[in-house]
Structures are given as C-alpha cells and as structure tokens.
Amino acid sequence: MGDHSLGLTNHAHRRLPTTGALMSSRELQWWSPVIVSGWWRLDLMGPRWKGKEAEAKALANPISKIVSQLQSSLIQTDSQGILSGSSLILGATPEQTELLNHACFGRPIITSDKNKQWFQLSMEEAFYLCYSLKCIKITVKEDNLIFDLPQLWNYMKIKRETFPNSFKAYSHLRAKNWVVRPGSQYGVDFVAYRHHPSLVHSEYAVLVLSEGNGDLNDRLRVWSDFHCMLRLCGSVAKTLLVLSVDQNGNGVNSPCCLERYSIEERTVTRWSAEQCREDQKVAENGTK
C-alpha cells in the first residue's frame, strides 16, 4: 500500500437505516459504501497538509525510513524498556529521542535528567517495537527480569482483554507506514496519519471490532451508533475506518496466533443524495 492509499476492501453500497435495530455482523459487512458507477459518490477525506512545503518534506523523509533508522539505533544500544502498569518506560539517547519523536512512538516524559530522555509508550507501541521490529527488550519494574515474548503477551492480555485484536489492528496500519496515535479524544481506538502530525492532519478515525466471537468493546451495535460516529468524524474532517479482526479460531494463547488473524478494512461515510444530484447536473452542463 505504501504511504499513498490504504488498500480498502469494497462491498456493495447500502443506505443507512434510521431505526435503532441491532445489526448483525453480516449487516455490518454489507453496509460498506464504495464508489460505484453513475452518480453515486463516496467522499473520502484526502490528506490535508499543514503548509505548502509539508508534502515535500514528507516525501523527502518517509516514515518507513525513519522507523528503520530507529530500529537500527535501538538494536545497537541493546535498549530495554520497563513495564509500569499499562505502559512502558523507555530511555533514549539524543539521537533516539529525535527518531522516536519523528516516528511518533510514545510521548516524552519531562525529568531533571539532561543526559537521557524518557518516553512513555502504550502497550501496542511497546509490543510492536519488541515483537514486530525486535529492537527492544522489556523488563518488569519490580524484579528487573527480562520478559520473553510469551510472558509479555500474557501480561498484556491480562492488562486488557482486547489487546490481541487491538495490537493486530495497530501493527496492520504501522506495517503499511501509517503513523498511528491514540484516538480516545475522538471516541475511537486510533487515528491514522499519512506522516508526522506536524506535517499533516490525521485522515482516519479507526475503530477496531471483533469478528466471529462478537465485539468485545460492544460498539456499533445499533444504527444510531453509526449516525453519531459519522457525525463526529465529519465534524473533525476524518473518515471512519472500521478494522474487523477475525481470529479464525486461533485463540489468544501466544503471539504466534497473530500471523493467522485476518483483518478486513471498511471505510464508512455519510451519503448525500442531494449533493450527488447537484454534482451530476453540474457535470452534465459542463459537457454541453
């Protein structure tokens, strides 16, 4: 996919009902707007760059390059993070501080230590650096023992039941070179940026749902949930992206199961018939 598109899965277009009825997973699967022939249209938000030079700066220094540099630097220094509750504390050299900031991993912690910067990472960020990039080791605050991957996996599952699906969605977007940040301020799991937030606004508000065994977060269960979420996304110029994670019967016993999980991407947007009719009329007049 690269930095230019998300490679979304398309299904047939259906109008959004206004009733408060519960939706089945099949109804959610089929209600997925797409661009089709004729005058129906899907208004996906494009990138909104911050300034005239922002796009050129992003192209000159892609996220994939920054993450690769960060990975190499953390491996060279044999970096270790310390688990503290539901987050990870990671020390960084001046070079790593710059790379962590540019790659958008964690948030800096202000301390009096001028020789070393500390970052607080979410569980998804920590596990991505440890499991996917294999560039940090993780210890426990109490006894300073290094966790192996099964121990770390079990720790994070205990801390949050939805972690396996949440991490699968996070790593899915990160692997496609999207910058992924927490989305709680918008009522979603994540927001996805094409590049660093200082250069571009986020394009997608991301909800992670569970296929097969029901949604552990119990969201988007009624049509009114869709209406509210779409109104919110529209007001902040973002496209709602629903990532449905299917464990395919593999369970959550070990991180090896992640390779057998599958993800289906769906973008959801409001459809304005009046606006489409007007657009077609303008297009017809332009051809006469």
- 243-277 pLDDT, tens per residue? 999 999 999 999 999 999 999 999 988 776 666 55
Q: Which of 211, 200, 123, 110 is nearest to 167 (CA)?
A: 123
pLDDT of 138 strictly over 50: yes
pLDDT of 24 strictly over 80: no
pLDDT of 41 strictly over 50: no
Give the separation between CA 143 and CA 149, rounded to whole angstroms. Answer: 17
Burial (Cβ within 10 Å: 0-12, 13-18, ≥19) of residue 12? exposed
Give me the mean pLDDT over the 175-185 stretch.
96
What are the backbone dihedrals phi and psi of residue 83, each rounded to the nearest 5 degrees, phi first?
-70, 135
Strand ordering across the sheet containing 179-182: 179-182, 190-193, 204-211, 239-246, 262-268
Q: Between these two residues, 244 and 279, which has the higher pLDDT value?
A: 244
Give me the mean pLDDT over the 22-29 stretch.
42
Q: Among positive and negative, which fits the CA dihedral 213, 217, 218, 219?
A: negative
pLDDT of 82 strictly over 80: yes
The pLDDT, as a whole number, for residue 273 is 61
Give me the mean pLDDT over the 4-27 stretch.
37
Q: Are 79 and 136 in contact (CB under 8 A)?
A: yes
Q: Per-residue confidence at 159, pLDDT binned at 50, 70, 90?
A: very high
The pLDDT, as a whole number, for residue 161 is 92
The pLDDT, as a whole number, for residue 224 is 81
The pLDDT, as a whole number, for residue 115 is 77
pLDDT of 87 strictly over 60: yes
Q: Are 233 and 200 in contact (CB under 8 A)?
A: no
Q: Return the DSSP state at 72.
A: H
Least confident stretch, 77-86, 92-101, 105-114, 257-266: 105-114
The pLDDT, as a whole number, for residue 228 is 86
Q: Per-residue confidence at 19, pLDDT binned at 50, 70, 90?
A: very low
For residue range 210-245, what is the model confidence (pLDDT) as tens digits?
Answer: 886 555 566 777 778 888 888 889 889 999 999 999
The pLDDT, as a whole number, for residue 60 is 96
Give the separation between CA 31 and CA 139, rounded to whole angstroms. Answer: 44
Average pLDDT, rounded, for the chain: 81
Q: What Å distances lie between residue 14 and 105, 107, 211, CA to CA?
A: 38, 41, 20
- Residue 246, classed as helix, strand or coil, is strand
Count of Cβ atoms closer than 10 Å to residue 212 Cβ: 11
Q: What percent of the chain has pLDDT above 90?
A: 61
Distance of CA 178 to the CA centre of its chain: 8
pTM of the model: 0.80
User: Which residue has tokens 């993780």?
Assistant: 138
pLDDT of 12 strictly over 50: no
Give the separation between CA 279 and CA 7, rounded to whole angstroms. Answer: 26
Give me the mean pLDDT over the 81-91 stretch.
94
The pLDDT, as a whole number, for residue 199 is 97
Least confident stretch, 7-11, 42-46, 177-181: 7-11
Exposure b/e, 13-41, CB count within 10 A at least 16 = b: eeeeeeeeeebeeeebeebbbeeeeeeeb
Catalytic residue positions, numbered? 193, 201, 238
